[in-house]
Amino acid sequence: MDTIKFSREYLLLGLRINKHLDGFVDSYYGPEELSSVIQQEEKKSPQNLLEGVNKLIKTLPEQGFDEKRQVFISKMLFAMRTTIEILSGEEFPYLEKVQRLFDIKPQKINDSLFIEAVEQLDELYGGKGSLIERIEAERKLKTISIENAETVMLKALSITREKTSTTFSELLPINERVEVKIVTNEPWSAYNWYLGKYKSRIDVNTDLPLEWDQILGFAAHEGYPGHHTEHSVKEKLLYADKNRFEHAILLILTPEAVISEGIANTGLDVIFPNEQRRMEIEIENFRPNPSNTTLEVLVKRVKCMNELFKLSGNLAIYAHVDGWTDDEIFDYCSRELNIPYTKERLHQWMKFIRNPLWAPYIFTYSYGEALIRRKFGEKPSPRDFSQLLTQPILPSDLE
């Protein structure tokens, strides 16, 4: 199989899988002719797809790619084959499936991390009543109205874009742009839909209240220097400039997603390494109500809440390995860990964790972040971070 045919069949394979598993292709901006082929043809059987991916795996060494590129494509194909095997009816234990798809070895995080975070939050949120009552009362004061959500998000994107542009001089493509849409009834809190040609649409889900001290984090994660920045830079440098076809399609259930979520989770610390200054900017631009809470306490609260987000992987294991019901998970969170989340908030988490597409994906956030911080430090330097934005990197590359 020559390289032109190989590249064509690789892209068609991803698009054909998406006809079985809607959402598998997060974005496609390769040749339009291939999109037309997929629209016109009948859905291929999983057996046909399996034959196709096996042929690509077999002929990959004949393409003359350098070793690093060959390994990258090989692991992408292995993940694609795993998805096809699942579509064919093969069953993998949950954690093995996650490992095969994402090039990571997921495991539970010790409860002590969450217990310590809750103890700190109990000190940081003074007053009467239970911790969850105190936090929820504070949340009501922190909430951005739905009417203002789009305006606030656009302002946050403007701030993070400017900081990204100065931190990574001349890295962003000239014509890149982002738009914002407010949505409801989704399993995620925000989502970047990369549209190709350096454009993204960021959907913000208002099923749960949007809080002012999350705004810069959302903007950095979904926009600058997170998903939009990574995808637009790689489209320009790897696909447009070097014609590396594998970067003309973004596939959800593959190792590249781990790096992408790691970039999104660590990017805010790269462009705003001074946490107190970052909080000052949020206060100046987004806080809807005055507060007597000190800057130091506000920063510590956010850090503790971020630690609790890592609980999602444990909950996924309890749900998919141990077979816990949502009620059992809620009981564990409230009784064993005293996690200060309402049942509504935990339900939103479980909605994502039990979603057929996102069930194995949940580990990409914490593992991607952990790999990057272990490799480059708690606050990666712009120089190190630029490698992640510009080069195809696998999770195993950062081990």
- Neighbouring CB atoms inside 10 A of 321's CB total 13
Q: How far apart are CA 116 and CA 396, in angstroms?
A: 30
In the 8-state DSSP scheme, what is residue 60? G
What's the pLDDT at 245? Answer: 97
In the 8-state DSSP scheme, what is residue 180? E
pLDDT surpassing 90 at residue 398: yes
pLDDT surpassing 90 at residue 127: no
Q: How far apart are CA 252 and CA 76, in angstroms?
A: 11
- Tokens for 216, please give them: 């810069």
Tokens 């009467």 sit on residue: 128
List the single range of 2-11, 299-308, 340-349 with lowest mean pLDDT. 340-349
Residue 371, class by beta-carbon neighbours within 10 Å (0-12 exposed, 13-18 middle, 19+ buried)?
A: buried
What residues contact 374, with CB distance under 8 A and at least 6 apart? 398
Using alpha carbons, select from 362, 387, 391, 365 the residue that is nearest to residue 376.
387
What's the pLDDT at 1? Answer: 78
List, as one string, the DSSP characters of 100-118.
HHHS----PPPHHHHHHHH
Q: What is the mean pLDDT of residues 357-373?
A: 95
What residues contact 287, with CB distance under 8 A and at least 6 apart? 142, 212, 213
Percent of the chain with pLDDT over 70: 100
What's the pLDDT at 323? Answer: 97
Which has more pLDDT, 288 or 253? 253
The reply to whether the predicted model has a pTM over 0.75 is yes
List, as one string, the DSSP characters of 282-335.
HHHHH--S-----HHHHHHHHHHHHHHHTHHHHHHHHHHTS---HHHHHHIIII
What's the pLDDT at 45? Answer: 97
Percent of the chain with pLDDT over 90: 93
pLDDT surpassing 90 at residue 59: yes
Q: What are phi and psi of 217, to 5 degrees?
A: -65, -45
- Over residues 234-269, the pLDDT tens digits come to 999 999 999 999 999 999 999 999 999 999 999 999
Which has more pLDDT, 78 or 344? 78
pLDDT surpassing 90 at residue 209: no
Which has more pLDDT, 320 or 342? 320
Q: How far apart are CA 389 and CA 230, in angstroms?
A: 5
Mean pLDDT of the chain: 95
Q: How far apart are CA 395 and CA 259, in angstroms?
A: 6
What's the pLDDT at 71? Answer: 98
199-205: strand order across its sheet: 177-183, 199-205, 190-196
Q: What is the mean pLDDT of residues 345-359?
A: 92
What's the pLDDT at 216? Answer: 96
- Over residues 155-168, the pLDDT tens digits come to 999 999 999 999 99
HSE of 357, CA atoms in CB hemisphere, 13 A = 14
Q: Confidence band (pLDDT; 50, 70, 90) for 14?
A: very high
Helices (H) and strands (E) in the chain, counts: 18, 7
pLDDT surpassing 90 at residue 73: yes
- Tokens for 33, please give them: 């002719």
What's the pLDDT at 208? Answer: 83
In the 8-state DSSP scheme, what is residue 200? E
Sequence spans of domains, the chain: 3-91, 111-398
Residue 149 near residue 202 (C-beta atoms within 8 A):
no
What's the pLDDT at 290? Answer: 86
- Neighbouring CB atoms inside 10 A of 48's CB total 11
- Over residues 386-396, the pLDDT tens digits come to 999 999 999 99
Q: How far apart are CA 310 and CA 188, in angstroms?
A: 15
Q: Confidence band (pLDDT; 50, 70, 90) for 109?
A: very high
Q: How far apart are CA 249 and CA 145, in angstroms?
A: 36
